[in-house]
Structure 1
């Protein structure tokens, strides 16, 4: 589709069917009124959560309120995303957000009140058969109990909440609003604006001078603000250390992993296994240097395409067919659900005026999932389609097989199902490809995903671990110290084939994820787990598929590590990461052979 249509002009066959959630606005209004009434009913339980029967009734009401609120929120916001300028759904979105806050406040007494019971009383509730469907909720409360403080202390920490957001807020304002980069010359020799958005485009330039100038301009700009930026990052680390101590965790890292019950060893194991495999990264850098035909490989050469742009024109119908075919290893049950999604309006396909950008999978329990796309007829959009349908089918299987409370899987698991679909699509395309240029394009596309999602995110994770440990030992995080740590990591990760330019030492200053601490490792573990699953499915067939479908059906019914382990991917061992690395090595070997035969 070439021109951008108004929402009213988009053909009905390419839009999602939100009527499956609510047939009309009147039905939404009725459910909204129902929730408002139920909120009042919840107050009657306050101060009375002492016995199994009362707690069971309270949990049942909590589920009813939460589910209705989720449906209202999802419907209002998905309508809003169709055309963000449309005032009616702007208002409905705001109304649903306010309701969610109101519900959160109304139900906030439940957990602290149950946690105020003694440990013996809690164990008694866990063993009570009348609370069987809430066993996991109660077990989780018991697990969290040592880190929940007194009512007054919790109230004080809640009040500190707004202050604790300051480092991230200040960084975002500086980075997005105040930071201005100098103009630089583009490929045509014209003065052009250098912005966050255009930076990667400059780094993709065929002209090394353009790449170098963009790179230098960005990091010199950050360098001018290094004292302020070091202070904001240091303040964020101090905040994490404060919360960890206040809640009696051994370290900030362990505090952040506790919510998903991820052992510290998983984080450390990722770093050590990637260290073990750094020679592969160094080998890939040597290959990149050879393919780019450069005397020296610099940090600003990492985004330059290794092959001439290979134009793959793929319509949406072709993308659907290719995705469907590529997922045949997952069996007919999976593909039947996929087909249902394709044919029954789960997906909002094309861009239109005012539509939210990007892509996501979303939905509410009890109704099929939905997927928002802004499809273009290219390879990237086909990967986005299979990625989002991976999320959608994870939710579909999860909701079909679990009670409401146990259906929601964690972020730690979320990227596994989506990335597995991408891995199977890539395997299918590489197997099918006969054009050497196309094959090289696909291999470099995939190899760069390993570089950016596994190696780079692990390097970020290692940087976060080092700076938090230094802060916990009472060391100051000066700009010089941060830059030295960051520079040394780059030298280690990229190896001797790379000229590690001095300017890269300031890159820590522009990574927003460092304000959402200890999050990035999940990209690397998710990608590794998915690659491991894909390898098992391709190598073993049916037994591995059964284990994988078991994973999708588990939802959030157990801890993430246990769910993966049952399915044959043990993230507490180095094995899944090693399996992912063997796939990466296979890509490098194919690229080396193709390069040698030229």
Structure 2
């Protein structure tokens, strides 16, 4: 199946970006206005931040500038994400990146100048404008690692260049990489990134699935050396900045903005690698037995346990599923879900040039936008619920926090999204006594929610840690080195239960999160929190829901440990993680029992 061009996609399958700017001319005018505003901001306040009232005036002006920048950057990036091949989209995002690099340099004085002041001046500013207390505290926290103002200005000016590896990665992956058709028993079948990740990995015909795996990874292999050098460029830039700012390790540098230490980071990776692996090997053995596979390979891990049972589902049917499953979150949350469908917040289309995966963008002052490529598989309900969990988070936080405080630490970011998946599963399990349906729901939770977040992303995190440790040790990266690191991680986790096919070691090439700092491990961190809270909601009902909504509304005003504590989860101990792993194990045991009964 070939995908249509973006211009040929029915409009109802696309999101409505006119909510940001009604016309391209309005966008261009806004970008021009921002560049003027940034210059005026620098002229008005650079070197003038000497008194509390001026500081407050500057922060109000900076807040307004940031709001305008969010609309402009979101408009450009969302256009680009749905059609990477479109030259207008490429030029638009390039123009924004160039302008924003200049603005970053022009506004870098704000932090530098504030850090030169006596503490009592900043305290006075906080008392005059308490809405900025967290913003000022965050700046002060960075003081030990802040460089000379002129150095900060230079680094800010290069911000567009520093993001270039990610742009190059996407260009290689989504523009230059062309997948030919592959043949199975005389049938010519299409291949693309989205087709492989949305369909072929889940294909139940073993011959087609294995042929698709070989075709996909053979093409990735053609680009492995370029992609490896692109990735090396990104991590070496991070290492250089970490050294300049006086961090002991690039890992410490990347964890600093997350407000967590190495202990929490390492614990998340080490305990899952050791204690979840036996449960997932048991799940792999179950898949092998049910599908009567001679050997279980990496190419077989995504197949559904009961493929003949999984229904197809329309977009409108998915709305009702989610409204039923998430109704516990209250009327305001339900209204948000309806608005998301009715006002076209969601891009469902499958078209040429569209990025892979799914995400939610939540521009401050507008509404969230959800990116997904709809395949009509029931599995997509959980994916969409996940992204609408992000939407619900920022829909709540932005109503209660300013632009500086609306976004929490990256460590916490995946808790609200995975919470929606857990609530959906709980609802479905509570409303059916049919053994086969129950097995389908539990297998969906294991194969999608937990496999995706506690296995796929966690194995990426383990590999990523190996990469950064190599960089800290002064090593260089190339494709064979990265391939070996990835294969070692896969073989360590899966042991003798799964044969790691040739090509599986190239899986590192598929993940854009590697260009976003220490992101992969946060999926399991968030799901640890949401598993614990979703169980509380089952036990305690509305009290737990209200506490969770308060967490969402708190945004970034608290650290991840403090946010979790609001929901009565103690991240300072290993208990939540170990309990979550035990819960995953119990689900796999139940799958085995139900399969034996059926």
State the alpha-carbon separation in 1 of the partners of residues 122 and 60 from structure 2.
Answer: 15
Instruction: Tell me if 1:242 matches 2:253.
Output: no
State the alpha-carbon separation in 1 of the partners of residues 211 and 312 from structure 2.
Answer: 33
Deviation at 1:32, TM superposition (A): 7.8
**Unaligned stretches of 5+ residues in structure 2:** none
Q: Could you give the per-residue CA deviations for residues 168-206 of structure 1, whole angstroms, max 9, x where no partner exists?
A: 5665565556667786432x4335565544545444444
State the alpha-carbon separation in 2 of the partners of residues 531 and 136 from structure 1.
Answer: 29
State the alpha-carbon separation in 2 of the partners of residues 173 and 350 from structure 1.
Answer: 22
State the alpha-carbon separation in 1 of the partners of residues 186 and 87 from structure 2.
Answer: 44
Residue in 2 that maps onto 1:556: 556
The question of whether the paired residues in 1 share the 8 Å contact of 2:408 and 2:558 is answered with no
State the alpha-carbon separation in 2 of the partners of residues 338 and 19 from structure 1.
Answer: 19
- Quickly say closer, same or farther: Cα 1:510–1:421, change in 2 above 3 A: closer
Residue in 1 that maps onto 2:281: 282
Residue in 2 that maps onto 1:261: 259
Aligned to 1:556, what secondary structure does the other structure show?
coil
- Quickly say closer, same or farther: Cα 1:268–1:193, change in 2 above 3 A: same
Deviates more, 1:29-38 or 1:539-548: 29-38
The question of whether the paired residues in 2 share the 8 Å contact of 1:204 and 1:304 is answered with yes
The question of whether the paired residues in 2 share the 8 Å contact of 1:350 and 1:373 is answered with yes
State the alpha-carbon separation in 2 of the partners of residues 231 and 317 from structure 1.
Answer: 44
- Quickly say closer, same or farther: Cα 1:278–1:88, change in 2 above 3 A: closer
- If the length of structure 1 is used for normalisation, what is the TM-score? 0.82
Q: Which residue, out of 183, 187, 191, partners 1:190?
A: 187
Residue in 1 that maps onto 2:395: 396
Residue in 2 that maps onto 1:589: 589
The question of whether the paired residues in 2 share the 8 Å contact of 1:338 and 1:389 is answered with no
Map 1:197-346 → 2, pairs under 5 A: 197-200=194-197, 201-216=199-214, 233-274=231-272, 275-330=274-329, 332-335=330-333, 337-338=335-336, 341=339, 345=343
State the alpha-carbon separation in 2 of the partners of residues 536 and 198 from structure 1.
Answer: 38
Residue in 1 that maps onto 2:107: 107
The question of whether the paired residues in 1 share the 8 Å contact of 2:547 and 2:567 is answered with yes
Deviation at 1:403, TM superposition (A): 3.1
The question of whether the paired residues in 2 share the 8 Å contact of 1:398 and 1:408 is answered with yes
Map 1:525-540 → 2, pairs under 5 A: 525-540=525-540
Map 1:15-94 → 2, pairs under 5 A: 38-39=37-38, 41-42=40-41, 43-71=43-71
State the alpha-carbon separation in 1 of the partners of residues 208 and 342 from structure 2.
Answer: 48
The question of whether the paired residues in 2 share the 8 Å contact of 1:183 and 1:194 is answered with yes
Deviates more, 1:89-98 or 1:515-524: 89-98
State the alpha-carbon separation in 1 of the partners of residues 99 and 178 from structure 2.
Answer: 39
Instruction: Tell me if 1:126 matches 2:128.
Output: no
The question of whether the paired residues in 2 share the 8 Å contact of 1:329 and 1:538 is answered with no
Deviation at 1:344, TM superposition (A): 6.9
Aligned to 2:387, what secondary structure does the other structure show?
helix
Deviation at 1:325, TM superposition (A): 2.1
State the alpha-carbon separation in 1 of the partners of residues 310 and 395 from structure 2.
Answer: 34
Deviation at 1:327, TM superposition (A): 2.0
Deviation at 1:141, TM superposition (A): 1.1
The question of whether the paired residues in 1 share the 8 Å contact of 2:105 and 2:153 is answered with no
The question of whether the paired residues in 2 share the 8 Å contact of 1:241 and 1:252 is answered with yes
The question of whether the paired residues in 1 share the 8 Å contact of 2:20 and 2:366 is answered with yes
The question of whether the paired residues in 1 share the 8 Å contact of 2:257 and 2:409 is answered with no
The question of whether the paired residues in 2 share the 8 Å contact of 1:394 and 1:552 is answered with yes
State the alpha-carbon separation in 1 of the partners of residues 439 and 525 from structure 2.
Answer: 26
The question of whether the paired residues in 2 share the 8 Å contact of 1:453 and 1:524 is answered with yes
Deviates more, 1:300-309 or 1:267-276: 300-309
Residue in 2 that maps onto 1:487: 487
- Quickly say closer, same or farther: Cα 1:494–1:349, change in 2 above 3 A: closer
Q: Could you give the per-residue CA deviations for residues 525-581 of structure 1, whole angstroms, max 9, x where no partner exists?
A: 222222222122112223322221111110111223322232223334323323332
Q: Which residue, out of 140, 143, 151, partners 2:141?
A: 143
Deviation at 1:261, TM superposition (A): 1.6
Map 1:348-387 → 2, pairs under 5 A: 351=349, 361-367=360-366, 369=368, 378-387=377-386
Deviation at 1:18, TM superposition (A): 7.6
Larger Rg: 1
Deviates more, 1:250-259 or 1:437-446: 437-446
Residue in 2 that maps onto 1:426: 425
The question of whether the paired residues in 1 share the 8 Å contact of 2:379 and 2:444 is answered with no
Deviates more, 1:232-241 or 1:532-541: 232-241
Deviates more, 1:344-353 or 1:520-529: 344-353
Q: Could you give the per-residue CA deviations for residues 41-68 of structure 1, whole angstroms, max 9, x where no partner exists?
A: 4221121112211111111111223334
The question of whether the paired residues in 1 share the 8 Å contact of 2:181 and 2:191 is answered with yes
The question of whether the paired residues in 2 share the 8 Å contact of 1:531 and 1:579 is answered with no
Aligned to 2:186, what secondary structure does the other structure show?
coil
Residue in 2 that maps onto 1:415: 414
State the alpha-carbon separation in 1 of the partners of residues 524 and 157 from structure 2.
Answer: 34
State the alpha-carbon separation in 1 of the partners of residues 23 and 161 from structure 2.
Answer: 42
Aligned to 2:518, what secondary structure does the other structure show?
coil
State the alpha-carbon separation in 1 of the partners of residues 369 and 585 from structure 2.
Answer: 36
Deviation at 1:20, TM superposition (A): 7.3
Deviates more, 1:556-565 or 1:31-40: 31-40
The question of whether the paired residues in 1 share the 8 Å contact of 2:425 and 2:445 is answered with yes
- Quickly say closer, same or farther: Cα 1:125–1:527, change in 2 above 3 A: same
State the alpha-carbon separation in 1 of the partners of residues 566 and 408 from structure 2.
Answer: 15
Instruction: Tell me if 1:542 matches 2:539.
Output: no
- Quickly say closer, same or farther: Cα 1:277–1:164, change in 2 above 3 A: same
Deviation at 1:324, TM superposition (A): 2.0
Root-mean-square deviation (Å): 4.4
- Quickly say closer, same or farther: Cα 1:214–1:541, change in 2 above 3 A: same
State the alpha-carbon separation in 2 of the partners of residues 416 and 223 from structure 1.
Answer: 34
Deviation at 1:224, TM superposition (A): 7.2
Aligned to 1:500, what secondary structure does the other structure show?
coil
Aligned to 1:406, what secondary structure does the other structure show?
coil
Q: Could you give the per-residue CA deviations for residues 100-147 of structure 1, whole angstroms, max 9, x where no partner exists?
A: 6665454333222223x05xx145413552243222111111111111
State the alpha-carbon separation in 2 of the partners of residues 142 and 277 from structure 1.
Answer: 39
